[in-house]
Structure 1
Amino acid sequence: MLIAQLTDLHIGAGRRLAYRKVDTASALERAVERVNTMVPKPDMVLFTGDIGDLGTVEEYALVQDILRGLTVPFYMIPGNHDQRGPLRAAFPDAIPVAEGMDYINYVLDAGPIRLIGLDSLDEGRPEGMLCCDRLDWLERTLNDGDNRPCVLFVHHPPVEVGIRHMDEQRLLTGAKTLAQIVSARKERIQAILCGHVHRPIHTRWAGVPLIVAPSIAHQVALDLREDGPSAFAMEPPAMHLHRWDEEQHCLLTHLAYVEHYDGPYPFFDKNGKLIV
């Protein structure tokens, strides 16, 4: 099972540049091309939030148009720049929530593992929240008798990463309860996948790996000063590739750049001799 995680698209209506600088629509087009040409090709794509920049119908219509070229199934959860109603209306097949569900929480059957999406959006606020209803749903889902390994994916990470302006808008409400739920099932939960921070970050939280993916467009500036300003940098766009290894019974995560770079070149010549 190979899963591509793309996050923080920030698509603007009419191909508007994000922050008057970033051509996010073209960035998504390049990411789609990259996924389509991978060998082996991912089994699915998870979009972990901030699909749009303002969460408008027009933005999601542009995303729809670009994603028509994606040749693998894809699924979405919202980020703080999204709006649930327009997002669900635009992508009903990519957001398979149960009928009557107010939030975008759902489960994907990924063969040997389960993928559990969590909606951390607090509409109108940059920080994340998991209310009692969403956490109760997660508790019930983890207690439904399916004991396969599972991976959680949610937009906001629940940890401070040292980038001050992003730490102020991490998952706040519900983080402690989520930690209790995860810690009690740390043998089954293989990882928590997040977006939001626009940087590749890896740590351990509540006893499980927590993996934050970079953006496929622009990255948040790596500034660990206490008074570091809110800023972004045009560092290489990238995605995460999560590979479930059934033999080793583990999730392996690779960083994959969107752009094409020179290579690959062989280490050995046609006679098997190391090239020096």
Structure 2
Amino acid sequence: MIKGFAAALIAALALAGGAVAQDNAHDPVLLRFAVLGDAEPKPCALFPGVEAAVVDVNALAESGRIDFVVGVGDIAHKGTGIQYENVTPALQSLTRPFYPIMGNEEHNDTVERYLEFARQWNPDITEPSYVRDPGPVVMVHASPDFGRDFNDDGIDWIVEQIAAAAPRPVFLVVHAAQAGVYPEDADKGVQNPRFQEVVGQANLAAVISGDLHMDMDRTVHSRQIGHVHYLHIPALERTKIPDETHHTPMYRVFTVLEGGEVRVDTYETGNLEPLSRHDYSFTLPQ
């Protein structure tokens, strides 16, 4: 089913002119990557939202540019084998490298089980947390140590990676931002008070997180607190906030331009034009 829709979507993008390709007329694109949000479907281990997003991302990569794809955790509900197994064909069909982290759902089973499947999605994933240097920014992918939270060793590791990258800007990928960032569910998130040391790092540009399953049309999904930009990634299979009455699968694409501008576009699956109502942009720290 995934391959069946790809050709049609690629053709649609070409006819539309392609929002991705239009960047060539402006500042040169240094980096572009897609971010997929939570999945963990229930009650059935079916992944139509993930499958549709993969088709779209592959089409964007074919007709424009996608350098890699990021996952913010909670792929497998309760970390069950059937969820891991059922989502794997979709993630393996991505035509660009996939870089996931764990969420609280994966912590319902072992780290070893998560890594067993993560290696099937990308053989380079050998640890739950890791650092990547794709060029204009350093990416710190930090899986929670337990649930959605970090112990002090985890905080130390994140701070060390951000500090080591200085003065270059860092994008931090976590499953959950610190509690209080999103007032829509202010009590949910990282509780370790030392996370303030993380967001206090001067070269931390953005925190990219999921977890809350927020409806992009009924919440404030992107905001700046201090010098840090917080970008929520919507869930692909289930919406929870502000309620569960309406779900539209969406994903986000980050574009870093030569002048230091970062544009964050939001796409609804099945539509290869970004939704202008969810536009967000900021400038990397100098």
Query: TM-score if structure 2 supplies the norm length?
Result: 0.73
Q: Where has structure 1 moved over 4 Å in runs of 4 or more? A: 261-264
Q: Is the 8 A contact 2:79 2:105 kept in 1?
A: yes
Q: Counterpart of 2:207 in structure 1: which amino acid?
A: I
Partner residue in 2 for 1:86:
113
Match status 1:154 vs 2:179? no
Secondary structure at 1:77's aligned position in 2? coil
- Mean Cα deviation higher: 46-55 or 32-41: 32-41
Q: Is the 8 A contact 1:79 1:121 kept in 2?
A: no
How far does the alpha carbon of each residue in 1:161-196 deviate from its partner, in whole angstroms, 9 at most, with x for none? 233xx4333111x2x32222322x23x222110001
Q: Distance in 2 between matches of 1:239 and 1:218?
A: 13
Q: How far did residue 95 of structure 1 move?
A: 6.4
Q: Is the 8 A contact 1:60 1:86 kept in 2?
A: no
Alpha-carbon spacing, 1:94–1:159, altered in 2? closer, same or farther (3 Å): farther
Alpha-carbon spacing, 1:145–1:202, altered in 2? closer, same or farther (3 Å): closer
Partner residue in 1 for 2:134:
110
Partner residue in 2 for 1:59:
83
Q: Is the 8 A contact 1:179 1:206 kept in 2?
A: no
RMSD: 2.5
Q: Distance in 1 between matches of 2:213 and 2:241?
A: 9
Match status 1:73 vs 2:97? yes
Match status 1:197 vs 2:221? no
Q: Is the 8 A contact 2:33 2:66 kept in 1?
A: yes
Give the gaps of 5 or more residues in structure 1.
12-17, 99-103, 223-230, 265-276
Q: Spell out the pairing of 1:1-276 with structure 2 (5 A cutoff).
A: 1-11=31-41, 18-19=42-43, 24-38=46-60, 39-83=63-107, 84-92=111-119, 93=122, 96-97=125-126, 104-123=128-147, 128-144=148-164, 147-160=167-180, 161-163=182-184, 166-172=185-191, 174=192, 176-183=193-200, 185-186=201-202, 188-199=203-214, 200=216, 201-222=221-242, 231-247=243-259, 249-260=260-271
Pick 1 or 2: higher relative contact order, CA cutoff 8 A, min separation 6: 2
Q: How far did residue 79 of structure 1 move?
A: 1.1
Q: Counterpart of 2:157 in structure 1: which amino acid?
A: W
Alpha-carbon spacing, 1:262–1:205, altered in 2? closer, same or farther (3 Å): closer
Query: How many pairs align?
Result: 232
Compare the two structures and name the one with the higher helix fraction. Answer: 2
Compare the two structures and name the one with the higher strand fraction. Answer: 1
Alpha-carbon spacing, 1:40–1:129, altered in 2? closer, same or farther (3 Å): same
Q: Identical aligned pairs, as a percentage?
A: 20
Structure whose alpha-carbon radius of gyration is higher: 1
Alpha-carbon spacing, 1:246–1:261, altered in 2? closer, same or farther (3 Å): closer
Query: TM-score if structure 1 supplies the norm length?
Result: 0.76
